[in-house]
Amino acid sequence: MALYVLYESASGYGLFLAHGIDEIGQNTEAVRSSVSDLNRFGKVVKLAAFSPYESALDALNQCNAVSEGQMTDELRNFLELTLPKVKEGKKPKFSLGVAEPKLGSHIYEVTKIPCQSNEFVLELLRGVRLHFERFIENLKPGDLEKAQLGLGHSYSRAKVKFNVNRVDNMVIQAIFILDTLDKDVNSFSMRRMVLLAFPELAKIVNDNYLYAKVAKYVEDKSQLSEDNLAGLTDIVGDEDKAKEIIEAAKASMGQDLSPIDLINVKQFAQRVMDLAEYRKKLYDYLVAKMNDIAPNLAALIGEVVGARLISHAGSLTNLAKCPSSTLQILGAEKALFRALKTRGNTPKYGLIFHSSFIGRASARNKGRMARYLANKCSIASRIDCFLDKSTTAFGEKLREQVEERLDFYDKGVAPRKNLDVMKSAIETVDGKEDEPTNVNGDANEEPKTEKKKKKKEKRKADDEEEQEKSDVNGSNVEDGTAAKKQKKKKSKDEDMEDLPAVSEGKKKKKKSRTEDSE
């Protein structure tokens, strides 16, 4: 059986015929040893056909199709023209070797050309790649390298731009930086330096940002007096706490710092303040970005927890593909595998634990609540991923369902059905689309009572029109109504006649029963 090998180069498609397969016996080691020597390899492999690309754009399209395992029309025409034709009902006397198994299966599905992809074929392709310049005639030195470089740049650039998950990349980076900033601010060495001079301040002011602002304002505790009360009150926000700081400074056990040390403390305090302010701006950016990318997930579980779920899954698409059971323990993989290894209890929740719903549930119902919340998060992520319109209606309704489930666990109040809730969410979305908008963009919202009044007025107008028409056609209408009334009376009379007959039959039955008993 003849073996053809398809090689996708940067300049075009090449089809090679491998001779002496029976002699070699498809020995991979023999091919591997003969690859480096062109004289030996040229006796085994020969060029059968070559089809160059029309342009650099065509080369990029062909490369993208091959990487996705798809056969293009150009490749199909090339194979059908160069390979022997496959007769119906007969086995082909050749096979095609390809590097990508997906491409081979697609070629076989469309053209019925038998394909194979194994180590032997890959070794042949390695030799073809090594000696490709010598197989192609009229190829100038350096042309193949230029084609490979240009195709590599364009392919990489297209892959970077054509990133399906590029929208949520910024959310993943933002939540990562946000967590890093929290760790940096907490572990900053500024607080330890201030502790040497004013150790009592750490017990009075717990917040890192306020602590840094107070440390920068105070500088030297020995110079702190009642004149600084107004400034401390503005920073701390509490006059009693400001007085407590002043009193603590008077009886402080800390050591005195030199002017150079005070300058360093001031610089550290400013650095912490800058980091805290940048964290606030980054948090606002994350909230805005989450409302654009995953509004329903953010409305259901919050922006930070939703961003952590997206970051841990890798993208919103990956999160949407996850079942609710996977989403429930997302972030607790170590505990899960440890439990499976030791045959212990598996974890009930992962990153979802940071949601307020899990904290509000009782200890007995935390696992149930985590399972239910994971189910709703899975629905919300799929809606955000595959819905074309941006809306928070579904997320708000799902949040109401979670609230109802909490009430059900605590008080026993029966929640609504999921079908009814989804129908109401779809109605709200459709209602928002149907509402007309003003020039300013505000919807014309009319109360329900006014709408009902308008409907009643329309009905009255329709009734009046019908009455006018009936007056015009008076005689015909009166005759019709009279006939209808007569028919009704006749039917009633017939019913009344039937009733006594039935009662007489019953009386006869009763009499017969009494006679039998006697």
Q: Which residues contact 11 (CB under 8 A, 6 or more apart)?
A: 52, 53, 59, 136, 139, 143, 144, 147
Share of the chain above pLDDT 90, in %: 14
Residue type, 204: I
Which pLDDT score is estimated for 195? Answer: 65
The span from the CA of 48 to the CA of 27, in Å, is: 22
Where is mean pLDDT largest: 67-76, 105-114, 115-124, 301-310? 301-310
Structure tokens at 202: 């750490």
pLDDT tens for 230-246 read: 888 888 888 888 888 88
- Give mean pLDDT, residues 128-147: 81
Query: Is the Cα torsion angle 271, 276, 280, 285 positive or negative in sign?
Result: positive
Share of the chain above pLDDT 70, in %: 77
The span from the CA of 306 to the CA of 295, in Å, is: 10
DSSP label at residue 351: G
Strand pairing category for 12-18 and 45-52: antiparallel
Which pLDDT score is estimated for 196? Answer: 67
**Is residue 13 pLDDT above 70, yes or no?**
yes
Confidence grade of residue 305 (pLDDT, cut at 50, 70, 90): very high
379, 294 in Cβ contact below 8 A? Answer: no
CA count, 13 A, side-chain hemisphere, 3 = 21
The span from the CA of 510 to the CA of 491, in Å, is: 29
Which pLDDT score is estimated for 494? Answer: 46
Alpha helices in 198-331 (DSSP H): 201-204, 208-218, 229-236, 239-250, 259-293, 295-301, 303-313, 316-321, 324-328
Which pLDDT score is estimated for 464? Answer: 62
The span from the CA of 203 to the CA of 17, in Å, is: 83
- Give mean pLDDT, residues 202-231: 80
pLDDT tens for 339-361 read: 999 988 888 888 999 898 998 88
> What is the edge-to-edge ordering of all strands in the sheet holding 45-52?
45-52, 12-18, 2-8, 94-97, 115-116
Which pLDDT score is estimated for 306? Answer: 93
The span from the CA of 294 to the CA of 318, in Å, is: 13
- Give mean pLDDT, residues 454-481: 54
Assign residue 99 a region (left: φ > 0; alpha: ψ between -120 and 50; beta: otherwise).
alpha
The span from the CA of 264 to the CA of 190, in Å, is: 9
Confidence grade of residue 374 (pLDDT, cut at 50, 70, 90): very high
Structure tokens at 381: 């992520």
> Out of 16-30, 198-212, 374-388, 410-424, which region has the weakest mean confidence (pLDDT)?
16-30
**Is residue 112 pLDDT above 80, yes or no?**
yes
Which pLDDT score is estimated for 442? Answer: 43
pLDDT tens for 318-333 read: 999 999 999 998 988 8
**Is residue 146 pLDDT above 90, yes or no?**
no
Confidence grade of residue 462 (pLDDT, cut at 50, 70, 90): low
Q: Which residues contact 184 (CB under 8 A, 6 or more apart)?
A: 275
Distance from the first to the final alpha carbon of the chain:
108
Residue type, 508: K
298, 291 in Cβ contact below 8 A? Answer: yes
What is the per-residue DSSP string for 54-90? SSHHHHHHHHHHHHTT---HHHHHHHHHHSPPPPTTS
User: What is the reported pTM?
Assistant: 0.55
Confidence grade of residue 135 (pLDDT, cut at 50, 70, 90): confident
406, 360 in Cβ contact below 8 A? Answer: yes
**Is residue 203 pLDDT above 70, yes or no?**
yes
176, 311 in Cβ contact below 8 A? Answer: yes
Higher pLDDT, 268 or 161: 268
122, 100 in Cβ contact below 8 A? Answer: no
Closest CA to 45 of 140, 125, 137: 125
Helices (H), strands (E): how many in the chain? 27, 5
**Is residue 54 pLDDT above 80, yes or no?**
yes
> Out of 118-132, 177-191, 299-313, 348-362, which region has the weakest mean confidence (pLDDT)?
177-191
Query: What's the alpha-carbon Rg for the chain, to the nearest Å?
Result: 41
82, 113 in Cβ contact below 8 A? Answer: no
Average pLDDT, the chain: 78
Beta bridge partners of 8: 13
